[in-house]
């Protein structure tokens, strides 16, 4: 009886220790602006619920003047729809900036910064305010994570 109780406790602990499945792809050195300026298009997604087919034509342009234009950008909707819902796509424009979008711990226990983009959209219907960079050297990609990052629900864009 004692062994089975210990086994149950170990399983509960291990089940609670999830990890972002894409953290090894995150950009942990701050990219230079000239390295990220350009056009990004849909690469792949791991979203399994409520997605629109238009996501596959997602396009984001980062301009040298600090502005962006997005077409068919995925929009997460949570109010009234539950946490497992990826809403329609939106078109948006506004300003962008590079900054930390989170962090994580490497195998040595060092805390690493995850670099990405923050969006200040002029259109009110964009509720995605940031995206993370992927890759360890240019050309960098982008990841839009939805819900809890440990669940691995994301849309990836590649730089053209």
pLDDT tens-digit readout, 27-46: 999 999 999 999 999 999 98
Peptide bond into 22 cis (omega under 30): no
pLDDT at 158: 98
Share of the chain above pLDDT 90, in %: 43
Residues 6+ apart with CB under 8 A from 67: 93, 94, 95, 96
pLDDT at 76: 64
pLDDT at 110: 82
The whole-model pTM stands at 0.79
What value, to the nearest 5°, has the Cα angle with vertex 143 and ends 137 and 147?
145
- Say whether pLDDT at 88 is over 90: no
Q: Extract long-range pairs of 111-116: CB within 8 Å, 24+ residues apart.
A: 112/26, 112/28, 113/28, 113/30, 114/23, 114/26, 114/27, 114/28, 115/26, 115/27, 115/28, 115/29, 115/30, 115/31, 116/27, 116/142
pLDDT at 13: 35
pLDDT at 18: 54
User: How far is residue 151's CA from residue 131's CA, in Å, rounded to a whole number?
Assistant: 16
């Amino acid at each position: 009886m004692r062994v089975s109780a210990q086994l149950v406790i170990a399983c509960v602990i291990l089940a609670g220790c999830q990890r972002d499945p894409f953290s090894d792809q995150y950009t942990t050195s701050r990219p230079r602006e000239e390295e990220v300026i350009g056009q990004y298009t849909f690469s792949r997604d791991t979203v399994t619920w409520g997605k629109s087919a238009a996501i596959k034509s997602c396009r984001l342009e980062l301009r040298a003047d600090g502005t962006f234009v997005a077409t068919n950008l995925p929009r997460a909707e949570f109010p009234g729809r539950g946490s497992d819902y990826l809403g329609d796509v939106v078109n948006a424009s506004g300003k962008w900036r590079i900054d930390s979008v989170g962090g994580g711990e490497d195998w040595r226990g060092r805390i690493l910064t995850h670099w990405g983009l923050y969006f200040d959209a002029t259109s009110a219907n964009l509720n995605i305010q940031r995206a993370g960079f992927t890759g360890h050297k240019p050309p960098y990609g982008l990841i839009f994570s939805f819900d809890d990052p440990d669940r691995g629900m994301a849309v990836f864009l590649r730089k053209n």
